Amino acid sequence: MFPLCLNTSTIRPRSLTEKIETAARAGFDLVELWSEDVEAFVAGGGSLAALRAHLHHAGLRVPSMIALTGWADLDAAAFAHRLETDIRERLETAAALESPFLVASPPFKRTVDLAVVGERYAQLLALGRRIGVRPTMEFLGFVPQVNGIRVCLEVVARANDPDATLVLDPFHVFRGGGGFGDVRLVPGYAIGICHFNDAPGDKPRESQRDADRVLPGDGTLPLADMVRSLHAVGYHGPISLELFNEALWQRDPVEVAAEGCRRMRQIVQAAAPAAR
């Protein structure tokens, strides 16, 4: 059984402490936090020590935080500056909250040099290693270039670092146009975290955005097949419910989270390898 995680984007808008309490009440094992939420919590007078205590009291760990953005779109001087300022700060925050991973989002430019992206990712990994957090490379199905498993694997390979990993997400696999068979190209040890969600079948793939994601089972994605592929490649880490659906944000957050947790558990159990 994969540990089940709630990505707090699923239950916006709520305070950070409410999101943590909701994840615990809904039956999740883990909670995936957003760096911006943590920064707002601290700016409002909270502390990382207090937040860490709140997590421990709720019985939750943080397997991953989100996100490092814009790092691959910068010129060399701007990247070097950010590496020692806000990138370092977000890695240090993740370390303070005992998160082993921090998601590194892809470039949004129409064309990028993948050799440069790989080199930059290697520098993120080197800094993260000193701090104790592993940046994990994300692809997004709606960006122009780093939008699928194969191109993300190329970035990971170009980094040439044993700590390099990538984020899997069924919505982005679908949205980027890659086949779900590509999941089996990724060794389990090279997966930082796997997000989980579904996509509606009544809207063209090319026009779907984050807000179109739906609860697992409400869409048409082959989620059970994806879970079987995760088993096949030897991944045993968390799967994290990540939605940005405004209709769900209007509902009771515990109800939404509990329903998502139940559906995830059903899909995972149905796709479990047969006992020998």
The answer to the question of residue 34 being in a domain is yes
C-alpha span between 152 and 168 (Å, rounded):
10
Residue 43 CB partners (closer than 8 Å, separation 6+): none
Rounding to the nearest 10 degrees, give the CA dihedral for residues 176, 196, 227, 145.
20
Cα angle 162, 149, 122; round to 5: 30
Tell me if 261 sits within 8 A of 214, measured CB to CB: no
Residue 275 lies in a domain: no
Could you tell me the two tokens for 157? 């390979």
Report percent pLDDT > 90 for the chain: 93
Q: Please report, for the domain that includes residue 230, its CATH number.
A: 3.20.20.150
> Is residue 275 over pLDDT 60?
no
276 occurs within a structural domain: no
Q: What residues make up the domain containing 12? A: 4-270
Global confidence as pTM: 0.95
C-beta separation of 31 from 5 below 8 A: yes
Task: Count up the domains in the chain and report the number.
Answer: 1
d(CA 137, CA 167): 6
Give one word for 138, left, alpha or beta, with left for phi > 0 and alpha for psi -120 to 50.
beta
180-209 pLDDT, tens digit each: 999 999 999 999 999 999 999 999 999 999
Question: Does residue 35 form part of some domain?
Answer: yes
In a domain, 72, yes or no: yes
Question: Could you tell me if residue 210 is inside a domain?
Answer: yes
> Does residue 252 form part of some domain?
yes
Q: Is residue 42 part of a domain?
A: yes
Q: Among 102, 93, 100, which Cα is nearest to 41's?
A: 93
Query: Cα–Cα distance between 185 and 154 in angstroms, integer?
Result: 12
CA distances from 88 to 94, 121, 172 (A): 10, 14, 27
Judging by beta carbons within 10 Å of its beta carbon (0-12, 13-18, 19+), is residue 18 exposed, middle or buried?
middle
| 80-131 per-position pLDDT tens digit | 999 999 999 999 999 999 999 999 999 987 788 999 999 999 999 999 999 9
What integer pLDDT is reported at residue 276 of this predicted model? 45
